[in-house]
Amino acid sequence: MRKIQTAVIGCGGWGPNLLNVFFSNTETKLRWMCDLSAPRLEFLKQTFHDVQTTTNYLDILNDPKVELVAIATPVDSHYSLAKAALEAGKHVLVEKPMTASVAHAEELIVLAKQKKLLLATDHVLVYSNEAQYLRNLIARGELGELLYWDSVRLNLGAVRDDYSVLWDLAVHDVSLFYHVIGRMPKEVLAVGTSHVQGHPESMAQLHMFFEGSFVANINVNWLSPVKMRHGVLVGTQKSAYYNDLEASEKLRVYDRCVTCGNGGKMEYHLGDVLSPFIPPGDALRNEVKQLVEAIRTGNSPIADGYAGLDVVKILEAASRSLQIGSQKVAV
């Protein structure tokens, strides 16, 4: 079967991961890699020998053989690059967050629809086997009524001066949460602090409020000496805990809960802890496989443009909350 010809714009940070998966995948051919740093491209050329390099993304857009363009540049350039690629007739995968504003995300979705092209967001965590297992667990009702979600994502650096930790770290957990829960919050409230003068928030807490009593909390921080990436989803029947840094058994299901019985008496149920067998798999490879299928069939991938838009809506509302003194903002 014909391979999908691909190109990557932005080869620092996350970019090399995209280069590796497109280069090694049997259904894609990595044709171009583009970066503003010529020395970086020369270094990467040692690994990706037959791939063309350029510091000008227009070389990629002008190549009629390129079908899919992956954009892994800073967020403030996502909109302009994605728009140019769509206008050039290319399918587009955009690193998260999809754009820096809701208006720009909406415009890209309209353009992709007009051009009948794929627009996808690189919410790679949602393609993990653990995320799919948790989503199915919720869909089957095994957790009962959902009560709250708490997640933590902390590490040391790199502190950015162009956007806050919410847009850099919280986007991972927001995209994961959005996929497995399948609901948008009614309101958000964000609290944040900058510990580096002249820089945006380097630590923040995002609180999301839904219909009923369900709430979700995300804690992110660039200044922690210890890396943490874990979360808990609590229901009235069972709870789920995930730890993305675990080499195995990333997800555990707890048959434990607290209920309010007759007369307001709290009742505690302490059952078993299950470490379900989840087939090993690489989330990024799962994503690329689905993107290839979407291009060939016209189906939508899990993290399409609309998923990217909804995540940007949450982040934009969180930014407004910070600007007005950490008040609730409608999404």
- pLDDT value of residue 246: 92
Q: What is the pLDDT of residue 37?
A: 97
- Which pLDDT does position 149 carry in this prediction? 96
For residues 93 and 307, give the distance between their C-alpha atoms in angstroms, rounded to a whole number. 12
The pLDDT value recorded for residue 1 is 80
Residues 6+ away with beta carbon under 8 Å from 15: 8, 33, 35, 72
> What residues in the chain have per-residue pLDDT under 70?
260-264
Report d(CA 241, CA 253) in Å as an integer: 6
Chain mean position to CA 121? 8
pLDDT for position 259: 73
Classify the phi-psi angles of 298: left when phi > 0, otherwise alpha if psi is within -120 to 50, otherwise beta.
left
Q: What domains lie within the chain, and their CATH numbers?
A: 4-122 (3.40.50.720), 126-282+314-330 (3.30.360.10)
Name the residue among 77, 95, 88 with its Cα closest to residue 112: 88
Selection from 123, 146, 143 nearest residue 133 by Cα: 143
